[in-house]
Amino acid sequence: MRCILMRTFFLFGCAHLTVIATLLNSLPSFAQLKVAPYHDKVLGYCAICHSTDYITMNAGFLDAQGWGSVVNKMVKVYGAPVPDAEIPLLVQYLTSNYGKTSALNIPSNK
């Protein structure tokens, strides 16, 4: 009887570990964002809805206007709970840390 109980507890425990591992693997991954002014606001407003990987995936492709469009779309279309006064701060952080860089705009040899 004791052996049956131990096996049952073992199997029950393994099943829970499998469920936990599956849940952990299904969570969105979160890229480490650069610590700079307004970093906390970006984490507070952006990471509550999506992975920060979306920010790092767009690094170098968007300028201030592009990041502004993205943030405004998140607020107006998707309903992100960002006060109007905070939008410029998010755009400033995103542009300063993940905006287009001169390294991506290499002049041609002509």
Cα of first residue to Cα of last residue in the chain, in angstroms, is 84
Q: Percent of the chain scored above 90 by pLDDT?
A: 51
Bridge-partner residues for 62, per DSSP?
Answer: 99
Nearest by Cα to 86 from 50, 40, 53, 33: 40
Q: Is the pTM of this model over 0.85?
A: no
Kindly report which listed range (41-45, 70-74, 99-103) carries the lowest average pLDDT score: 99-103
Q: How confident is the model at residue 99 (pLDDT cuts 50, 70, 90)?
A: very high
Q: Residue 48's pLDDT is what?
A: 87
Mean pLDDT of 55-74: 93
Q: Tell me which of 3.30.365.10, 3.40.50.2300, 3.40.50.880, 1.10.760.10 is the CATH number of domain 31-102.
A: 1.10.760.10
Cα separation, 30 vs 38, in Å, equals 17
